[in-house]
Amino acid sequence: MTSGAVLQEEQVKLLGSWYSPFVKRVEWALKFKGIEYEYVEEDLINKSSLLLTSNPVYKKVPVLLHNGNPIAQTLVIIEYIDETWKHNPILPQDPHERAKARFWADFIEVKLTDVVRTALITQGEQQEKAVKEAKEAMEVLEGEAAKLKGERVFFGGNNGIGYVDIVLGLMCGWVEVIEEVGGFKLLDPQKQPHIHKWVANFVELPLIKPTLLPKEKLMIHFQMIRQACLALVARK
């Protein structure tokens, strides 16, 4: 990969929270492009005025500020990065392949990410339903991962990782922690050997490995999230 250093007059700032896989995706995209940026940790209990003015609709991280212009929502930010800095493409250059990558990124977001989050903060029948849906999504992704053969070990192709790999990166650490905290199992090496192999290859990448978070630290945080959400439901 080329360095792709940002011009001096450009200012790139990322508003995030340390535990968020959504923020981590944007970090990976920036690092993949070699873009220098300033990271600003946000306290989502006491949100800063910068976050509230930069993302007044959702009031969430991540938010990318490029020369003062805010861009919100993870997938939108990644595509913005790819379109703004052309070197080291994240999305395929072929229109059909690019459309396919967007389809699978959306599938991961809707059918897996959102459902796993529901499984984390619920219990009983609601959690069972979410886990069932997540397992079904995992089976679909296993079918796609089975197509990765020979030198092609990532969805981005022979040249390395791409859009789908970055989006699927939540499988690397976060899902394992959420499984333990929520008391369910999604990723089974016996049932999803190809996804398991993809994870093993992804986490060893020099770009990715130093950015992964300690399991123990994530466990404490997600336990707090689950307990707080269940307590909130119990009070209703």
Q: Which domains does the chain have, with CATH numbers?
A: 11-82 (3.40.30.10), 93-230 (1.20.1050.10)
Tokens matching residue 144: 């796609």
SS3 (DSSP) at 15: strand
Position 6 pLDDT exceeds 90? no
User: In whole angstroms, what is the distance from residue 96 CA to residue 53 CA?
Assistant: 37
For residues 190 and 146, the answer to whether their CB atoms sit within 8 Å is no
The predicted model gives 85-92 an average pLDDT of 95
pLDDT digits (tens, 9 = 90+) for 38-60: 999 999 999 999 999 999 999 99
User: In whole angstroms, what is the distance from residue 91 CA to residue 44 CA?
Assistant: 31
The predicted model gives 166-185 an average pLDDT of 95
Q: Which pLDDT value is given to residue 3?
A: 38
For residues 12 and 38, the answer to whether their CB atoms sit within 8 Å is yes
Q: Which pLDDT value is given to residue 149?
A: 87
Residues 82, 84, 85: CA angle, nearest 5 degrees: 70
Q: Is the pTM of this model over 0.85?
A: yes
